[in-house]
């Protein structure tokens, strides 16, 4: 269990220039404090800035104003303390699963034996131990995403950021992956920030759900999920949960839906 992972975003503003048109205010005055080991879901319609925020938190995008710190140290570029899982797996097609998972270790200059040790643990964590030698083209979409998650965890980040990681999967597989993510969180203890379109997914996973609205991108509401852990699928039917769902839905008006 890690004791680090407090992610604080302060007054983030991001503006994108658009040729021959007024600039897009992707984020304006966005502030959010995420505690150590918390699971936070960010939900909102397209263009509300949730993916933009994730990029800023990952150090891939510099905001025009504001800052992000992790345990009081600023994030001003790609950071080993932050792991990132994209919507598509983004695996290198010419490498095996094993070589893909150890890619960050290779880039960081880890010696071969250390890489192999870590690889075994990571594959076991995501349930890919039997597929180490396979090529991404030989795997299903879900298995590829598992490999991407394993890769994101390679350097033991304190924070794991996931940008709609399961949106390409069918609903049933998605539920299974949600539960596996919870298991993973239980074992690693990292802070998790997940961007999603799915209200059930947000409720199942998160301690708090951040609802965002677009133009400009800002926080509309933060809905706490008080359901006890460990979470289960049956939970989705509880009154607590449907109350929370109703509240989230209310804040997503007038656009009406999360997707």
Number of Cβ within 10 Å of residue 140's Cβ equals 10
User: Which letter does DSSP use for residue 162 in this model?
Assistant: E
Q: Which of 21, 23, 72, 93 binds other proteins (CB under 8 A)?
A: 93
Q: For other proteins, which stretch binds (CB under 8 A), given 72-80, 204-212, 227-235, 240-248?
A: 72-80
Answer yes or no whether residue 111 interacts with other proteins by CB under 8 A: no
Give whole-number Cα distances, 99 to 85, 106, 112, 210, 212, in Å: 17, 9, 11, 36, 37
Answer yes or no whether residue 80 interacts with other proteins by CB under 8 A: yes
How many Å apart are CA 108 and CA 115, to the nearest integer?
10
Report 42-61 residues binding other proteins (CB under 8 A): 58-60
- For residue 134, the minimal CB distance to other proteins (Å) is 10
Q: For other proteins, which stretch binds (CB under 8 A), given 77-85, 114-122, 196-204, 207-215?
A: 77-85
User: Which letter does DSSP use for residue 228 in this model?
Assistant: P
Q: Which of 9, 27, 48, 84 binds other proteins (CB under 8 A)?
A: 84
Continuous H helices in 50-170: 50-58, 97-101, 103-107, 112-126, 141-152
Q: Which of 88, 175, 207, 247 binds other proteins (CB under 8 A)?
A: 88
How many Å apart are CA 49 and CA 33, to the nearest integer?
17
Instruction: Give the binding-site size for other proteins (rule: CB under 8 A).
Output: 21
To the nearest 10°, report the CA torsion of 26, 192, 142, 155: 110
Answer yes or no whether residue 63 interacts with other proteins by CB under 8 A: no
Tell me if residue 7 falls in helix, strand or coil: strand
Q: How far from the centroid of its chain's Cα atoms is residue 141's Cα? A: 17
How many Å apart are CA 195 and CA 218, to the nearest integer?
14
Q: For other proteins, which stretch binds (CB under 8 A), given 74-82, 139-147, 175-183, 237-245?
A: 74-82
The label of the residue with tokens 């949730």 reads 50
Answer yes or no whether residue 157 interacts with other proteins by CB under 8 A: no
Answer yes or no whether residue 62 interacts with other proteins by CB under 8 A: no
Q: For other proteins, which stretch binds (CB under 8 A), given 29-37, 83-91, 169-177, 204-212?
A: 83-91
Integer-rounded Cα Rg, in Å, for the chain is 18
Q: Which of 15, 36, 135, 197 binds other proteins (CB under 8 A)?
A: 135
20, 165 Cβ separation under 8 angstroms: no
Q: Which of 5, 44, 104, 142 binds other proteins (CB under 8 A)?
A: 104
Q: For other proteins, which stretch binds (CB under 8 A), given 25-33, 102-110, 120-128, 204-212?
A: 102-110
Answer yes or no whether residue 137 interacts with other proteins by CB under 8 A: yes
Sites of contact with other proteins (CB under 8 A): 58-60, 77-78, 80, 84, 86, 88, 90, 92-94, 103-104, 106-108, 135, 137-138
């Amino acid at each position: 269990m890690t004791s680090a992972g407090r992610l604080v975003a302060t007054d983030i503003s991001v503006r994108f220039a658009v040729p021959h048109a007024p600039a897009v205010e992707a984020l304006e005055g966005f502030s959010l404090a995420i505690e150590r080991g918390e699971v936070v879901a960010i939900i909102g319609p397209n263009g509300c800035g949730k993916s933009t925020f994730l990029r800023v938190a990952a150090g891939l995008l510099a905001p025009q104003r504001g800052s992000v710190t992790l345990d009081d140290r600023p994030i001003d570029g790609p950071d080993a303390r932050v792991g990132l899982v994209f919507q598509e797996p983004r695996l290198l097609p010419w490498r095996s699963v094993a070589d893909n998972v150890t890619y960050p270790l290779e880039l960081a200059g880890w010696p071969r034996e250390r890489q192999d040790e870590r690889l075994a643990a990571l594959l076991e964590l995501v349930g890919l131990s039997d597929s180490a030698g396979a090529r991404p083209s030989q795997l299903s979409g879900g298995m590829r995403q598992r490999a991407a998650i394993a890769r994101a965890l390679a350097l033991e980040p304190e924070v794991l950021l996931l940008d709609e990681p399961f949106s390409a999967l069918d609903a049933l597989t998605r539920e299974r992956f949600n539960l596996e993510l919870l298991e993973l969180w239980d074992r690693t203890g990292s802070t998790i920030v997940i961007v999603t379109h799915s209200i059930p997914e947000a409720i199942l996973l998160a301690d708090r759900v951040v609802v965002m609205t677009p133009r400009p991108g800002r926080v509309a509401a933060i809905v706490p999920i008080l359901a006890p852990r460990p979470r289960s699928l049956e939970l989705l039917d509880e009154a607590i949960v449907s109350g929370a769902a109703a509240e989230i839905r209310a804040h997503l008006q007038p656009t009406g839906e999360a997707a």
